[in-house]
Amino acid sequence: MNFFKIVRFLIVFILLSNSLYSQHIYKDRKFFGGSLFFNNDALRDVIIDGNSTDNRGIEYFNNFIDRKSNSKIRFNMRYGWFILDHFAIGGDFNVFSNSYNSEDSTYMMNTYMQNKSADITIGPFIRWYFYEAGGQPNEIGSLFLEAGYKFGSGWSNDKAYFELSDTLTINFDENYSYLMTDITTKLGFSMYLSDFISHNWFTGFLLTLEPSIEYDWIHRYDKVGDLGLQERKEVYHRFRFNVALLSYF
């Protein structure tokens, strides 16, 4: 029995052995929320000192410096509406930015490279809640499957500077824009927070944390080169784990 047959068997077993009772995923209910992600990492000042000689036997003092930094920000906001019990449709809005810097220095060469990019995507999704953990009035949460399609655009800036022994200097600075599409599938769990948090801090809305495993299939169409005449198509496959905060009302 292969993996896909096992998954189908488990889903059918769950559907036959459990039914959904939660009032929060009935027809005409709604939900709203999203997630915010920051990441920054940096490598600073890798220095190697020592006496060495070049290929002509001339001694020099080796000083190697390596500095790198990378920062990412990802913001997601979504709104959904239950058109049927346990089945919702909605819209998804995403903003992503990235900044990368690299500086390398030796006794022979200095190198500096930088990339900054940002993109915005928007699109529809469908969501099906197929299993609830626990029964009323002590539900823990609900498992759901989701599929979505997003489209959008972005821009990128590449800069580079090379200096070789004070004799050769190269500068590079290019801006280009791109279009992108993102087909997404997601398996997640809508975990209900306590009544105290939901009812006292959110005026009766049900507050949930939603961890999920997501697969993205991204197509990016870049316009690069002078005057944007050269086109480049890139395809990305990405798995990621995400946690969102949503309220149901």
Residue 144 lies in a domain: yes
Scanning the structure block, which residue is given the tokens 């999704």? Answer: 125
Which of 179, 189, 187 has the alpha carbon at shortest distance from 147? 187
Taking only the tens place, the pLDDT of each residue in 101-122 is: 888 776 667 788 889 999 999 9
Q: State yes or no: pLDDT of 181 exceeds 80.
A: yes
Amino acid at residue number 130: F
The domain total for the chain is 1
Which of 3-12, 20-29, 69-78, 150-159 is least confident? Answer: 3-12
Query: In this predicted model, which residue has the larger pLDDT, 26 or 122?
Result: 122
Average pLDDT over residues 2-26: 54
Residue 167 lies in a domain: no
Q: State yes or no: pLDDT of 84 exceeds 60.
A: yes
Contact 214, 200 (CB under 8 A): no
Residue 5 lies in a domain: no
Residue 10 lies in a domain: no
Q: How confident is the model at residue 224 (pLDDT cuts 50, 70, 90)?
A: low
Query: In this predicted model, which residue has the larger pLDDT, 233 or 89?
Result: 89
Query: In this predicted model, which residue has the larger pLDDT, 33 or 16?
Result: 33
Residue 96 lies in a domain: yes
From CA 21, how far away is CA 120, in angstroms rounded? 37
User: HSE on the CB side for 105, CA within 13 Å?
Assistant: 11
Residue 173 lies in a domain: no
From CA 49, how far away is CA 12, in angstroms rounded? 65
Map residue 81 onto helix, strand or coil: strand
Which of 244, 108, 91, 79 has the alpha carbon at shortest distance from 167? 108
Residue 61 lies in a domain: no
Contact 183, 217 (CB under 8 A): yes
164, two tokens: 């070789």
Scanning the structure block, which residue is given the tokens 């995507």? Answer: 121
For residue 161, what pLDDT is reported?
82
For residue 15, what pLDDT is reported?
43
Domain that holds residue 121: 19-45+70-100+114-156+178-248
Q: State yes or no: pLDDT of 19 exceeds 60.
A: no
For residue 16, what pLDDT is reported?
40
Q: State yes or no: pLDDT of 195 exceeds 90.
A: no
For residue 187, what pLDDT is reported?
96
How far is the CA of 221 from the CAs of 151, 154, 214, 224, in angstroms? Answer: 11, 10, 22, 10
Q: State yes or no: pLDDT of 248 exceeds 80.
A: yes
Find the Cα–Cα–Cα–Cα dihedral 143, 84, 127, 153, rounded to 10°: -160
The model's pTM: 0.73
Q: What is the CATH number of the domain that holds 134?
A: 2.40.160.20
Pairing of strands 49-53, 59-63: antiparallel
Residue 124 lies in a domain: yes
Taking only the tens place, the pLDDT of each residue in 126-154 is: 999 998 876 655 568 889 999 999 999 99
